[in-house]
Amino acid sequence: MKILVTGGAGFIGSAVVRHLIQNTSHSVVNVDKLTYAGNLESLAGVSSDPRYAFEQVDICDAAELARVFNTHQPHAVMHLAAESHVDRSIDGPADFIQTNIVGTYTLLEAAREYWRNLPPQQQGEFRFHHISTDEVYGDLEGPEALFLETTPYAPSSPYSASKASSDHLVRAWRRTFGLPTLVTNCSNNYGPYHFPEKLIPLMILNALEGKPLPVYGKGDQVRDWLYVEDHARALCLVLQEGVVGETYNIGGHNEKRNIDVVHAICALLEELHPQKPAGVAKYQDLITFVADRPGHDLRYAIDAGKIQRELGWTPQETFETGLRKTVQWYLDNQEWCRHVQDGSYQRQRLGSGT
């Protein structure tokens, strides 16, 4: 297949692109606007492959999307392009409304027009896979509850509300227009190439620099952690074998409190990088509790039984093995980290193609 991946220079998107190029025979068209979160350096290992093509395009640009579809003639779409940072959505919701809602609508319309004009057999084979988040479900009550594919939506932040809206649009285009769509909702991802504003890479890099490790409230928020390469495998499996019109929850079976995650990172750094910055006796001494985020959900946890039963997917990494790989990756890839931290990675935003 030739697969059009939106947001393929982002954290999860780049993992999907790397997986497709390195582990399958499919071709990839990476469509990415290259906002602050898009980093072509995350694709350095696959960008010279003849099965990879890059288009610097905003998914809100209907004319450019039509050109991309007509030029590349994809067999499927994997839609990952999104603004995804909750704190940024609180500070400035407008970008989230524009990209996550208007952008998804624009992409759906471009895909529908392209799909509508395909020959009947290719119409039947076409897929539009929308990748979403467990945050659309809101907050869980009690320690035993889990998000199911049928859990009612109750988003808490501008980010999760915009993703919930995009999910509804995708399902409506399936119901009203017959567009062959699939939806997946995932738990918190972590792993290599994660932008340092997110919890795990922020803690790793701040600790290495002797900076405070800021933890919201008491750090008792619970998240289900999913290693990004496990997620990439699951997404490609759903695209190829999932049932059109269905939703699949993807989780890591790894519920952890935020404070426990931070302590685990500190323990790994004590082992893997004992040479601490000046004045730091123990990495955990850098932990600093800060005022909680407005509307902060306390607990997310996914029941991933459906994708296991129906498609045979289970995560290969435990939280312990995945976190060790992640910490080691950041220690081994300081140049990538420096380019993100000093902004030099954004020099790629020149519209120069690949």
Q: What is the DSSP letter of 100?
A: I
Question: Exposed, middle or buried by CB within 10 Å (0-12, 13-18, 19+), for 289?
Answer: middle
The C-alpha angle 43, 158, 139, rounded to 5 degrees, equals 95
CA-based nearest residue to 153, from 137, 140, 170, 165? 137
Is 214 exposed, middle or buried (CB count within 10 Å of its CB: 0-12, 13-18, 19+)? middle
CA distance 52 to 250: 26
Q: How far is CA 341 from CA 196, 208, 239, 344, 346, in A?
A: 8, 13, 34, 8, 10
Give CA–CA dist 151/146, Å, rounded.
9
CA pair distance 250, 235, nearest whole angstrom? 9
Contact 324, 237 (CB under 8 A): no
Residue 227 falls in the annotated catalytic set = no
**135 part of the active site:** yes
Residue in 32, 83, 135, 317 annotated catalytic: 135
C-alpha 64/C-alpha 257 separation (Å) is 43
The DSSP 8-state label assigned to residue 302 in this structure reads B
- Say which amino acid occupies 270: E
Query: 342 an active-site residue?
Result: no
Which amino acid is located at 192 in the chain?
A: P
For the chain, how are helix, strand and coil distributed in percent, rounded to 5? 45, 15, 35
CB of 137 closer than 8 Å to CB of 298: no
The residue from 32, 134, 224, 229 that is catalytic is: 134
Give the active site residue among 52, 105, 114, 159: 159
The residues annotated as belonging to the active site are: 134-135, 159
